[in-house]
Amino acid sequence: MKISELDARFVRRRVEESGEVWEPATYEAADGVIFLCPKCFQTNGGKIGTHSVICWRPRVPPEVDPKPGRWEFSGGSLESLTLVAGSSSVLISAELGGCGAHFNIRDGAIA
């Protein structure tokens, strides 16, 4: 499955008096990438009932949710995006109330 199939988009985080705003961004300007959870997308057979996942770049402060993960982006676009970190995997912890999804993103594909 490709991340682009999961309504993925790059976002920039901005803080206003009313709270955080996530606005569309280019690869270069993006603070993160948001997309539908690949595990729940498959389980639900599509978008309905599927939650979103956001992966922040290291420049987003560590106190910003979700945490603790931060990934460097490589590739230049959604079609070639690779998330790079110590383990490079994304884990939505079931112990913390998440769905238990655990995956990597390499060359735009969920692995």
- pLDDT by residue (tens digit) across 51-110? 999 999 999 999 998 888 899 999 999 999 999 998 889 998 887 678 999 999 999 999
The conformation of residue 8, written as its DSSP 8-state character, comes to: -
Mean of pLDDT values over 3-10: 97
Its pTM stands at 0.91
Q: What integer pLDDT is reported at residue 94 of this predicted model?
A: 81
Q: What integer pLDDT is reported at residue 49 of this predicted model?
A: 95
Q: Total domain count for the chain?
A: 1
- 26 has pLDDT over 90: yes
Within 8-64, where are the H helices? 38-44
Query: Domain range for residue 59?
Result: 3-110
Q: Nearest 5°: CA angle at 63, between 59 and 67?
A: 85
Q: What integer pLDDT is reported at residue 27 of this predicted model?
A: 97
- pLDDT by residue (tens digit) across 29-45? 999 999 999 999 999 99
Beta-bridge partners for 20: 15
Q: Is residue 9 helix, strand or coil?
A: strand
CA dist 83 and 55 (Å) reads 9
